Structure 1
Amino acid sequence: MEEHKPHIDNLYFKAFRAVDNREACMKFIEGHTHVLEIFGITQITSAKIDWVLNPDVFVILVTAEEGGRALAGGRIHQANHKNPLPIEDAVGYMDERIYQMVEERTDAGTGELCGLWNSWDIAGLGIGSMHLSTACVAYADLINLSTLFGLCAPATYRNSIRGGFRVINEIGINGKFYYPKEDLTATSILVDDIKGLPLTHEPERSIAMNMRANSITQQQIQSKTGESITLHFDLTI
């Protein structure tokens, strides 16, 4: 018997600095952990929870009502010469060139989009991770990052390329690593130009640019069942 899914008319995408909202961080962790457990994934560096104490971590949380249960989320970790990015912890022991790549970009402003997850409540509507990842890429510019790393699973690879990431062919096996376990692969990716987003497809590029110019925006979309859903984005710093 299929579990009844709540009706969703609105989705709220709210950005915040992790150390400023512990309660929302706990909602993120609970939702992310649940999704990973469904897929039997436990050893994954972006699932560690010490990021809640890092002032250089920013979160975008998705809820169906303001202050409600987390339905999706993503994080941006800003490199700071102190806390390694999750991608460094994940693949550095397999290819140490990642350390130099991050180090070379840190002073100009770099970070990593990580911990991106969707609950079934959202996936079941036919709303993938594209809206969330576009908001994260837009937000990266608002916190003065010039480049953005990522480590994506096969399921999110296509959307990552649409969003303006390129494969980091310089490391791993043409960018690929066996991670988080030997029978799974992850691809290392990078946005080289957060300001210009030259590789980002349309309409995602225009949407990201609009989010930067107007940090509070709305977007009307249709679910796969034909119902209208309003997406509310609040990327205020």
Structure 2
Amino acid sequence: MNAVVLLSTRRLPPTYFDQVREDLGDQNITIDVVGWVAPSAWVADKVNTFTLIGPGRMPAQPAPEPEPAVEASDEAPDAVIAPEAVAAPETVVADEAKIAPAAAEVAAAGSSSAAPSAAAPTAAPAAAKPRPTGAKRVVKAVEWRARKARKVAGRMLPKAIKASAPVKFLRGQRATNDLGKNYWERVLSRRDVMATIDKADVVVALDAGAIWAGWNLGQRKASTPVVLGLPAARREFDQLKAPAGNG
């Protein structure tokens, strides 16, 4: 069984590893990933190992789906009412005759004893904060204009500069270089990562941030192909399979 190590600085979805197996032409291939960022979801069922060497944490395993509830097939029996619990019609009429006068007396007593409540005094509105006058007013105005000028200057000029193609290119190159160096330093400092790479048949740098690590690994491990991208990895695996097929 062939083994491949993927070097990545981007967030990979679980479905990506299905595409890797399809592009490499081997569904039984062993995939180990050295990632700078965690995958977008749980990938333990997609890869052999996923070693996170950058910031963040790995996604938690999803909770298992609850089993469907079993519905009872038998209906509950109707409630049985004891004959002695049912009141006779004449008893109900007598009780209603007793309740009606009592309710009228209670209503009359409540209406006579009710008195209009006194209106609660309302709180006085808070006094408005006095505005600055004289020299304080001039100082406040100058400070406000200075803050506004700084906001306008910081919003207009940098935006025009940042939108230019040369600045975008230089910033992108600098960010990629910094990420590439940090990624390689982390790979080199992890014994478990280097041990995984030593067992690989092919090492693949998937993106620009992993190129520097791939180049350094290629200088250190001449016996293991280190390539950029899956098409180049496919050619290496085809060459590994070729001697067995010709024999």
TM-score, normalised to structure 2, is 0.23
User: Which protein has the larger Cα radius of gyration, Structure 1 or Structure 2?
Assistant: 2
Q: Looking at both structures, which has the greater relative contact order when contacts are Cα pairs under 8 Å and sequence separation is at least 6?
A: 2
Higher strand share: 1
TM-score, normalised to structure 1, is 0.23
